Structure 1
């Protein structure tokens, strides 16, 4: 894990100071976070070049996990080796993780209070508009060929109507993309690799060492839980589930939310449907990766099945474990694969796999959008099975006019006035209080 120092004048203290600032200001999801790092590290400080920044960003899109956090880790690694990568990656996550943890504790204690429910009615409506906006933005960028649009539609149909496993959608799309890239790269709007280009040596030793070290770091808490509490305990379920999620989270937090929500709500029974929207609303209002919403889920799951701990202690352990198994793999991917970045830049098949996965992710986000819309606008949503076909069936009597009014308001603020996420959430939260509480 050797360092690739760009500018000798960049001290480790400089790196700590700059990434602390970035960690505290990284609002706005991946797009806002990447733009912030570009301004701070490319435009203002020139720590890395524009080409290196874009090359690294494409590389991070190949990996599972939050691309903005992995980009921060890569930049730290590029400047100060493994300790720079560790510092930059942690500082990008820690401020938001601490805030989400505090809000999760408050939510677990106050979730049944009327005013909190009213507040989150508005938050859920705002989140619906934010997710719709994310869907349209990503679709506009990603679906630039007929094949990509077909993959997006197939992913949506497979998830929403046939309840296919999320990992199958991701892996299947990746395989299709790699095959197409080898035969007809134009169908995915890919450019051919540069023939005859000299590539750096294969850094096997660094990669193997990184996988061994970070694999052990990743597994350590799970081994402790298995020994102390057994594999029937909720903490084991949390760690195993989010470890699996860390491997298949291609396309960012929005892409995996539908799968996580369905498992957390319908599979494990950890949360109610509306609580997933609450958690996303909390993550939207805080700095750091949006995938920190997983910490909220881990806290509530352990908080509600605390034995042999108290609820709050169990919740803290669940949140800490979730964060650990979510981000330890991110460091492993970067430290193991960053030395290969120049070789990967010429790998057309890998680019094809990424392009296909990105297209399928649009369908995944469309599934999330439909799922959220049903559970925000209707208090009761059932399911009906017609052979392999699964249909959601909302109860018309449970239609929530307040949520509908607030969702329309949020869409107007997002698309018409182009307000920021924080302003939309604030206005809709106040609107939820105004429409719900007695005068």
Structure 2
């Protein structure tokens, strides 16, 4: 959830690009490398790579704190500053680079991710490591936005939605499994190897896209002036504020997961397994949230903040339990983590349903601000009370979310939500 969605101006561009899909299919019959399915695969692989790059530092938190002799709170800036750059500079980057072709933007972005990952393990100090995160943050929104324009343009309109859903799997896999996978590589191979893995994924995706059948039409600059009216609506503002507190709660704890489990006595290998279990819970939570939202949006919005706070309590009071117990806790935590994220996105976009693209862009920006605020706040708590401060920060933002939900409750009861 870290990037810009398509806006109405870009969708108009897509309608023009889709007229080329028939000729592209004829080309793919003569040249298998030009098959749209391969382009979709490499775009999804690129999304997996870039989100693994973003959250790799979560899986490397103990190594980073030891390597550069910094506190967990300081190391957490690698997450919060990255998210802040995405939220603030993403739209400007997309506008400034709109004159370049889709293929150029996608491949260039991936090469930036690759280069920064190759250089990161050689950073002589923490400040240099932080600076090497900046280019990747600047280009994350560019890649994400252009990726979906490109994927949809490769297929006829009746297959566009399915293609978008397929490529989203790359994003979800990166967000959920990126950090656990990096933790596993760092603990079983080396710290350097974890960065090289990120670089190799991005490089493979870049090479694949160089030979793809991507459209060569430059992006249109976003235009959202007609959509600004939703910002005047109290229900939408409440949903957006809730988005900020939700992601602040989520990333208060998630950003320091590896450090928390490590200081709770679990080895690197055990932590990797627990984070994989958390990832599986996240996939299950995504599925269950969709089912629950189709039945009762209000119940889903009420349930998940409470469930997340309860999981934080289990982490806090049962952190020295055997692996089997902690595995169950991490599974439940993953369900609450992704379930709350999905439910919140549905609330925001439904509250701005007459301007869905712009509403989603506000969701992305608010979520990234939440990541920044949550990580920074948890860092402050950790400085004062130790690693348990991450849990206290998570609880604080869970309470804030519940308060906002209580204020929005009358409007939610009157709202005519439909299931996903």
TM-score over 0.5 (shorter chain): no
Higher-Rg member (1/2): 1
Using the size of structure 2 for normalisation, the TM-score is 0.29
Using the size of structure 1 for normalisation, the TM-score is 0.28
